[in-house]
Homo-oligomer: A and B are copies of this chain.
Amino acid sequence: MKRRLTLADIADTAGVSVMTVSRVINDKPGVSDEVRQTILALVESMGYRPNQIARSLVTEQTTSVGLIVPDNTNPFFAQIARGVEDAAYALQYSVFLVNTVENPQREFDALDSLWQKDVDGLIWCSARVSHEVLEAQISRFPAVVLLNRELTEPPCNTITINVNDRHGARQAVAHFLAQGRRRIAYLNGPEHSVSAHRRLEGYRDAITEAGVPFDEGLVDCCLPDTDSGYDAALALLDRCPNVDAILAFNDLVAIGAMQACQALGRSVPQNVAVIGFDDIPLATIIKPQLTTLHVDLRHIGESAMRALLDKMEEAACPSAILIEPELVLRDSA
């Protein structure tokens, strides 16, 4: 690796001062067209690229953002990450990806490290920390987009993006009820997940409003993956054999639940109807195809990145975005 070219190298060969080159590089006024062309040609032929580190030190901008997700192999977050990265590329930003793997220590370390790296903004998905920690951390960053987390008093530098989980869960339950199903179970997600709480609320409200008594035994928690969904559904069907519908926290849990039904000889949707959440690509790949609440995850990722940039440019008022999920009827319900 040869020594990196600096502004001074270009300036020397062009016979001008570093500032003149800097002005050209940053497309700023105060340089004649003639000199500008000369320098531009030199930059091209010598292959000069500004050192972002040095630039960052003085401008206090790094053109990079942090993206915190629980697990990038979860298709839900993979799609969001893809959307964020696509938008970041278009906006000339770089993305630090960090997994928390549902581990508080690692989430904390992630925040610390991103802060030390001086990111211009942070997209924080499914923060599991307490309210106080959340606010304290947010205040350390210039701008933050919070996904799947509400804030009673959102700071100026923050945007929240939430899926209308309550409404989504209600739609699913309404669909079950319309089919005449009454023993409707809910396999919920992680205990500290905000989405999980909201979906549970929607489920309970829809059930009770329809005059069906809420039965704690029909609700259980599990991790948001296929295996956990499988285990939880197995236990559920053992405990309450007359269940005729399962709403799942997300598509992965729904798929696990369908597999459990099949393993127990219950056919889907005849004996047990299943509805998932998110509409990940897998939903149309498995058989029976999964009825689910569609959310355009890639779009959410892109919006998150673009909204973050807006906040970075002018930390105006706080703002909240609510995404409406849409029930997509397929084969499982």
Asked if A117 is an interface residue, CB under 8 A from chain B, the answer is: yes
Q: How far does the alpha carbon of A253 sit from the alpha carbon of B129 in the complex, in Å? A: 40
0/1 string, A233-260, CB within 8 A of B gives 1: 0000000000000000000000100010
Size class of the contact patch on chain A:
35 or more
A77-85, A167-175, A180-188 - the one binding chain B: A77-85
In the complex, what distance in Å separates the CA atom of A118 from the CA atom of B106?
25
- CA–CA, A226 and B282, complex, Å: 10
Assembly CA distance A142 to B115 (angstroms): 25
Cβ contacts under 8 Å, A72 to chain B:
72, 78, 81-82, 85
A267 at the interface (CB under 8 A from B): no
* Central interface residue in A85, A157, A282, by most chain B CB within 10 Å: A85
Q: Does A99 contact B (CB under 8 A)?
A: yes
Q: Which residues of B contact A56 (CB under 8 A)?
A: 53
Evaluate whether A79 and B75 lie within 8 angstroms (CB atoms) in the complex, with A94-B96, A96-B94, A96-B95 already known.
no
Complex interface: chain B residues within 8 A of A99 (CB): 82, 85-86, 89
| In the assembled complex, A98 has its CB within 8 A of some CB on chain B | yes
Q: A40 → chain B, closest Cβ, in Å?
A: 17
Q: Judge whether A62 and B73 touch: CB under 8 Å.
A: no
- Partner-contacting stretch, out of A44-52, A215-223, A320-328: A44-52
Q: Please give the distance in Å from A275's CB to the nearest CB on chain B.
A: 18
Q: How far is the CA of A54 from the CA of B58 in the complex (A)?
A: 9
A 121-151 binary contact with B (CB < 8 Å = 1; else 0): 0000000000000000001111000000000
Least distance between A239 CB and chain B CB atoms (Å): 24
Q: Which residues of chain A (284-310) have a CB below 8 Å from chain B?
A: 285-287
A318 at the interface (CB under 8 A from B): no
Asked if B141 contacts A1 (CB within 8 A), the reply is yes
B226 adjacent to A112 (CB under 8 Å): no
Task: Decide if A11 is an interface residue (CB 8 Å cutoff).
Answer: no
List B contacts of A54 (CB < 8 A).
Answer: 57
Instruction: From B50, B78, B96, B116, give the contact of A73 (CB < 8 A).
Output: B78
Q: Would you list 12 pairs from A and B whose C-beta atoms are within 8 A, ordered by A residue?
A: A1-B140, A49-B115, A52-B118, A64-B117, A75-B75, A89-B98, A89-B109, A94-B113, A96-B96, A255-B285, A282-B282, A286-B286
The 5 tightest CB contacts between A and B, nearest first, are A97-B97, A73-B78, A52-B116, A73-B82, A53-B56
Point out residues on A near B: beta carbons under 8 Å.
1, 49-54, 56-57, 62, 64, 67, 71-73, 75, 78-79, 81-82, 85-86, 89, 92, 94-99, 101, 106, 109-110, 112-118, 139-142, 157, 226, 255, 259, 281-282, 285-287
